[in-house]
Amino acid sequence: GVPLLAGGLLCLALVLQGHYGLTSSVMLIFYGLALVGCHHFTNPMIGWLGYAELLLGLLDCFTATHALLFWAIGFGLLHLLFGIYLIIKNRRA
């Protein structure tokens, strides 16, 4: 809830002011914080996805290039891998 809203507003402010450099990092960090914060109310494994998003966003902060690659890994590849993991885990149960 709150981290996702705060991160969204911060991203909007960054974009409106023309500061595009850290936008992908901010998206990943605040999305990760939101997942970590809500994992108690959903599947507890969501927290691990949140930590992975958070770590990826922090790594992205220190990389001047490849922001789109980090963003695609975070919002694409990590979700795909997490979904495959959940499917495999639920089929075994």
The residue assigned the tokens 């970590």 is 36
pLDDT of residue 38: 92
92 vs 56: CA distance, rounded Å: 29
- Tokens, residue 17: 């002011």
- Averaged pLDDT for residues 30-51: 93
On the question of pLDDT at 78 being above 90, the answer is: yes
pLDDT of residue 8: 94
Q: Report the candidate in 84, 10, 2, 5 with the shortest Cα–Cα distance to residue 49.
A: 84
pLDDT of residue 24: 93
pLDDT of residue 27: 96
pLDDT of residue 79: 96
Share of the chain above pLDDT 70, in %: 99
- Averaged pLDDT for residues 46-61: 96
Q: Is the pTM of this model over 0.75?
A: yes
